[in-house]
Every structure is written in structure tokens, then in C-alpha cells.
Structure 1
Amino acid sequence: MADDKKTNREKASLSETLKVYLGSHRKLIFGITLGLIVLVFGSVVAYQIHHNRQEQATRQAEEITEAWISWQQERDDQAEREIREAIEAVRSSYPRSYGALRALHVLMLMEWELEQFSEARKTGLMLADGFPRSHLAGAALASAAAAAEEEGDLEEAKAILLRIARGEGAPSAETARALFNLGRLSEELKTYDDALDFYNQLAGEHPESNWTKLAKNRIIWLTSQGGSSNT
């Protein structure tokens, strides 16, 4: 019985202490509660604004894609200008959005179709640098390397392909092809030891790739010409 009375007194004391604390800190508690409400509300609003901007950018990118498909049939100069202006508008208004990514991809493809290889290279690098984790980064680097090769700048093409080989744009199906092309370009530049190194790396890291089959043929040929092979 005595223990029960002691427990009741302790509960009463705790209750009184809590009442006193709440009473003396009422303004502070109210301020904290209000702050939390404002924070949550602000987060919801910020998310909604971000979501709406992403949707708007994506819609504009879809319109750009449709316009580009139509332009491919007609090659109208006015339509080309309008597409370029629309791409720049999306990139300026929504620079980090999925819509901006898609718009850059369309621009890269358009430059290729116009055989403006310098611009195609720049746009491919812009896409890869601006969106390094996107599913298009590896393909954009490969496109930029191919454009550099079309310009006759084999060293620049190799430098870009090395970025893929080192893991940029990964995970990417472009890695095996990049290693093969690094070997091929090294052969064109007559740096045959480098070519063998790239072909051997391809064979070791991607044994099931179709590019490896081609690489092994080059390894055999280069070795027969006096090169060295690790395979």
C-alpha cells in the first residue's frame, strides 16, 4: 500500500513538473511547432514546383522531338531555326532537367545529320559533362569521339574514347566498342604497342563481346607482324 502511495505521489509530481515546464516554455514550443509546420509546407510547395517544372521541360522536349522528326523529312531552314531556339529555351529555363537532356540529344543528332561534326562533338561532350549519370552519357561520348574522327582529329577521338574506357558514362554498353576503337585508332596512328594493349584489355574485360572477337583477330595479326601480346 505504501508503495502504491509513493508511486501515485511520483506520478503527481511528474505531472506537475510537466505542466510547469510547458507553461513556462509555451512560446518556445509554439514557435518550434509553427516552424516545423512551415518547413513541411515549404518542402511540399518546393517539391510541387520542381515537379511542375520537370513536367513542363519534358513536354517541351517531346514537342522538340516531334518537330525534329518532321524536319528530317523536309529539311526546312525555318523549322531548323525554330528547333534550335526551342532547344536553347529548354536548356536556359530548365538546365538540369530531363527535358534539357533530351533536347541536347536531339541537337546532337541534328548536327550529325547536317554533317556539322565540330558542333556534334561539342554537343555530345556538353551532354556527357552536364548529365554524367544519364543513360545517354556513354552514347554521347561515343558520338563525340566519332565526330572528332570525322574531323580528322584522331588524338581528340582517342582522348574522348579513353573517358569511356575509364568508366565515364558507365554502366554503358559503349565500353567494349570504345576499347576496340582505341585499338583501331592506335593502329592508324602507328602506335602498335598501344593498340595491342587496348585489344588485350578488351579481351580480358569483355570476353563475351562481339568486339572481342574482332580484337582477337587484330591481336593475331599484330603479333604476326612482330608485336607482343599478353594473350
Structure 2
Amino acid sequence: MTDKTEKETLADSLNKTLEKSKGIVFTVAAIIVVAIVAVAVFATLKSKATEKGIEQFDLIAYNLTNEAKDLSADDIAARQTKALEDLTPLTEKKGIVGVRANMLFAEIKFSQKKYDEARSAWLKAVSGDDKIYTAPLCYYNAAVCSEELGDTDSAISCYKSASEADEFVLVDHALFSLGRVNEGAAKYADAKAAYDKLISLHPSSNWAELSKSRLIALKAAGKIE
């Protein structure tokens, strides 16, 4: 077989293969186009669903707080009950709608001194995305609820999570509270670590000054070196 004949044979073979696979190539291309369209439609629908959810949330919040200062205790309670009822389906939503709904749900429950339900809602607001900007506040408030419930382990865990966000506006308070709760649980090394971190982070803050005084007291009592 000559080189020319071999080249022609290979070319013919390739052409035949392409002819046979042409339908598959076109089918794959069609699937890709359909997928791109589907993603675009999904994104549009998701955006519209989010927009609708935010509108629903805003209306609930407005109905709860509008001219509330002039309401009686019974009227406020009635508004809270209605708001909780309307918020419930939104608390199951993903993204910003679910976050905002759970945070408002938690605020209402906290005001009613239903700390267990408030804590659950605060934590639900960060479930699946603890990097969201509202996460430190949610963890901090969950910690406060845990303290109200006498749940020291949960309070420590939540204050720790809140304090890990250095840019959190209440990070000093979170760190001091972490130290205080650890100190109350006789976890003196952990308390010292929290106080030390606070002093290192913001040495001139009022919370840092309080932390320094606690370290002096713990050393004087022989609890830490």
C-alpha cells in the first residue's frame, strides 16, 4: 500500500466516522443549548422568587412595627402572633429571604422570652452558610439565649463562633462574654485565651480593660499562671 493510498484510506475512514457521529455531535450541542437556556430560566425564576419573598417579608415587618408605639400590650401580642404565622413559611426559604425571616422570628420569640425557640431561629438563620455577614450577630444572640436557658456549653460554642469574625461590631463583647462564661464553667485556660485575644485585638477598648482586670483576678486566685 502506497503512502497516498494509506492517506486516502484514513481520510475516508475519518469522514465515514464523522458522518456516523454527526447526529451525536448535533445532539450534544442541542443538549448544551437547552441546558444554558434552562440555567438562565432557573436564575430568572429564582430571582423573581427571591424578590417576591423579600416583598412578603417587608410587608410582614411593616405590619408588625407600623405605629406600634401606640398599641396596647394585647394589640402588640396579636401583631406578633400574626407575624409569626406569616413568617413561618418564609423561614424555610433559602438565601436572604430565609435569613431575614428567621432573624425576625427569633427577635419576636426573644421578646416573648421564649429563648429556646429564639435560639433555634437564630441558628437556623446561619444554617448552611456560616460565612454570611449576619452570622456573627446570629451566633451572638443564640449565645445570649443559651445563657438565659442555662446552657453553658451552647453559650460557649456560640460566643466562640461569634468571636471568630474579627470585623464583627460586637467582637469585643463576644470575646469578653466567651471568657466570662468559660470562667464561670471553671475552664480557666479557655477564659484566659479569650481575654488574651481580646486584649491583643483591641488593647485600648473598655472590654480589653475589663479583660485585664479578670486576668489579674484569676492569677491572684491561682487559677491561671
Q: CA RMSD in A?
A: 3.2
The separation in 1 between residues aligned to 2:20 and 2:81, in whole angstroms, is 61
Instruction: Tell me the residue number matched to 2:35.
Output: 42
Change (3 A) 1:24 1:113: same
* Aligned counterpart, 1:149: 147
Write the letter of the residue equivalent to 2:148. Answer: E
Counterpart CA distance in 1 for 2:54 and 2:86 is 8
- 2:208 matched to 1:212? yes
Aligned residue pair count:
213
State how 1:54-93 maps to structure 2 within 5 Å: 54-72=47-65, 73=68, 74=71, 75-77=75-77, 79-92=79-92
Pairing 1:174-213 to 2, within 5 Å after superposition: 174-204=170-200, 206-208=201-203, 210=205, 211-213=207-209
2:60–2:86 CA contact under 8 A, matched in 1: no
Per-residue Cα deviation, 1:131-187 (whole angstroms, up to 9, x for no partner): 32211112111110001112233343123223345x4xx465155433211111233
- Which amino acid counterpart does residue 195 of structure 1 have in structure 2? A
TM-score, structure 1 length as denominator? 0.73
Alignment TM-score, normalising by the size of structure 2: 0.75
Distance of 1:27 and 1:87 partners within structure 2? 58
Can you give the 5+ residue segments of structure 1 that lack an aligned partner in the other structure? 1-9
CA distance in 2, matches of 1:54, 1:88: 21
Percent identity reads 19
Deviations 1:68-96 (A, max 9, x none): 2431315545543443343332344xx32
Distance (whole Å) between structure 1 residues aligned to residue 116 and residue 195 of structure 2: 28
Amino acid at match of 2:43: H
Q: For residue 105 of structure 1, what is the aligned residue in structure 2? A: 103
CA contact (8 A) 1:59 1:99 kept: no
Unaligned runs of 5+ in 2: none
Whole-angstrom distance in 2 between the partners of 1:114 and 1:41: 51
